[in-house]
Each structure stands twice: as C-alpha cells, then as structure tokens.
Amino acid sequence: MNRDKQLPLTETTYYILLALVEPAHGYLIMQKVEELSEGSVKLAAGTLYGAIENLLKHQWIEAVKSEEKRRKTYVITEAGKAMLHLDAERMQHMLAITERLLQR
C-alpha cells in the first residue's frame, strides 16, 4: 500500500488538527485538545508552539486574520483535513480488524 510517510499522525498532532476545524489561537487550542481528549492529552506551551510551527511547515494549518495582534489564529487547511481523513480511515480499519479477530 502506498501510504503517506507522515502517517500515522501522533496523538498530539491529530488532536490539534481536530481542534482547528474551527479557527483558534494557541491557548484555545490547548483547552480544546484537553476537552476533546477528555483530559488525557494536556499540551504544554513549548510543545504546542513546536507543533504549530511544524503543522504550518506542512501546510496542514494556516494563520488567519485575528483581532488580537499578540494571539495569532490558525485554522486547518484542505491538506490538513485530507490527512485527518486518511488517518481516521487507517484507525477505522484497525478497529474493525481488532474487533473481528478478538470476537472469535
């Protein structure tokens, strides 16, 4: 299978991309990720900053106009959504196959 070498996404990356389906700035991303993961993924500032930089480099997210100069707002791009879909499909397959094999 010819798969993107960026896959699988890390848990952190996956949640950040999900959090950015709606535009958000850095601190809001932290809060959203914690909420989406039911408290299991808590991002620290230094880690999040590096992750945002990396996602921008891959062009999976982009900066959008923000009212506040000190807080930049980001949103997921089409390429970012495509990655989320690919990784979700990968996980769906894993889930299905796990259930089938463990039910025997």
Partner 1 sequence: MRKFKFFIDFDKEEKWLEEMAAQGYQLVKKSLGYKFRAAEPEQAIIKIDYRSFKRQEDFMEYCTLFEDSGWQHIAGSRGSGSQYFKKVGGDPHDDIFSDQLSRAGKYKRVSKMFKDLAICYMPVFIALMSTGALDASAMLDPQQLYLTEGLWEKSGADFWKSFLFETPFALFRGFIWLVFPVFIGVYLYCAHKANKLYDKQIQA
Binding site for partner 1 (CB under 8 A): 12, 26-27, 30, 42-51, 69-72
Which amino acid, residue 85?
H
Q: Which is nearer to partner 1, 12 or 18 (CB)?
A: 12
**Pairing, β 73-76 against β 24-25:** antiparallel
Q: Which is nearer to partner 1, 5 or 70 (CB)?
A: 70
Q: Of the candidates 66, 69, 67, 43, which has an alpha carbon nearest to the alpha carbon of residue 55?
A: 43
Q: Which is nearer to partner 1, 68 or 78 (CB)?
A: 68
CB of 78 to partner 1, least distance (A): 24
Question: Are residues 99 and 55 in contact, defined by beta-carbon separation less than 8 angstroms?
Answer: no
